[in-house]
Amino acid sequence: MLFFIYVLIFVAYIHAEDTRCPFQSCSNSYETLGCTINCESKQFPLMGPIIEKRIWKLRLNNLENIPKNAFQFLEITNLEIECQNLKFIDDEAFANINKLDKLYLKNIRDIELILNKNKLQFLSKITNTLSIFNSSLDENNVLSLLDQIKTWTKLEKLELDRNLFKNFNYDFKSFQNLKTLSLSDNAIEILDIKSQMLTELNINANQITKLDKEMFKNLPKLKLLNLESNNISKVFNDSFLLANDLLSINLNRNFINYIEPNSFCELKSLGRLMLSYNNLSSIR
């Protein structure tokens, strides 16, 4: 009997919500880095009294609306909004946040809700990572997005994975601190990127069929390149010319059947070349 009581007390302790955390109608826990909060409701939860401003992770999974000043005064490390049925975002939904390091937008059926009137403008001096996943970005609205965030002074990582664009042509000259760009799992056939700062580029799981001459020459600081799971069949000795800082190239899971001699010889810093699951019988 005593053991059973101990078990009940332990279970109750695990499931108890911490009253220091905001959004008390959501499940939460508190640790050294702050609150972890998970909300499943359709309506935006009431913030309530703010005892602990530090939010390590806030997940909003089924929202239909985000009101004005939804996150005001909070200090958020990770904010994840995954809402297929989102219908309304106030123009000042993201206003007055003290801190928001990383913003993840997932499965937003109508991305124009966010792009219209530049609702993310309040994050321009505080956010270092922006991820928009599976949210119907195409050639037109992705350019609108990029023009809106090009003045974000702290942005270091941009992920636009599993969207809808086939062509991606952009000059990132205004992105002074962008180091990592991920365009994975789109349908990209044509790629032309310029950036003086980019060090990591992920374009795996696209529809790239060939590597053009000096394709990466406008990425002089590029170190990590992921081209896995495309439709590349041939690699020529001018494909990686002028990309002299490359440390790693991933060409796994393509259809490569020919590599021209000396294709990688000019890459003096290259330490890792991945060519698994291709159609190569030998490499010279």
* Rounded Cα distance, 141 and 65, in Å: 21
Both structure tokens of 282: 């030998």
255 found inside a domain: no
204 found inside a domain: no
Mean pLDDT score of the chain, rounded to an integer? 93
231 found inside a domain: no
176 found inside a domain: no
pTM of the model: 0.92
Residue 6 has pLDDT above 60, yes or no: no
- Beta carbons of 244 and 218 less than 8 angstroms apart: no
13 found inside a domain: yes
Element (H, E) at 141: helix 139-149
132 found inside a domain: yes
* Rounded Cα distance, 226 and 29, in Å: 37
Residue 144 has pLDDT above 70, yes or no: yes
CATH number of domain containing 111: 3.80.10
Average pLDDT over residues 255-283: 93
Residue 61 has pLDDT above 50, yes or no: yes
Q: Give the pLDDT score at 147.
A: 96
Q: Give the pLDDT score at 17.
A: 75
Domain carrying residue 71: 2-165
* Rounded Cα distance, 64 and 70, in Å: 13
187 found inside a domain: no
In the chain, how many domains are there?
1
Residue 117 has pLDDT above 70, yes or no: yes
* Rounded Cα distance, 28 and 142, in Å: 34
* Rounded Cα distance, 85 and 129, in Å: 24
77 found inside a domain: yes
* Rounded Cα distance, 83 and 281, in Å: 47
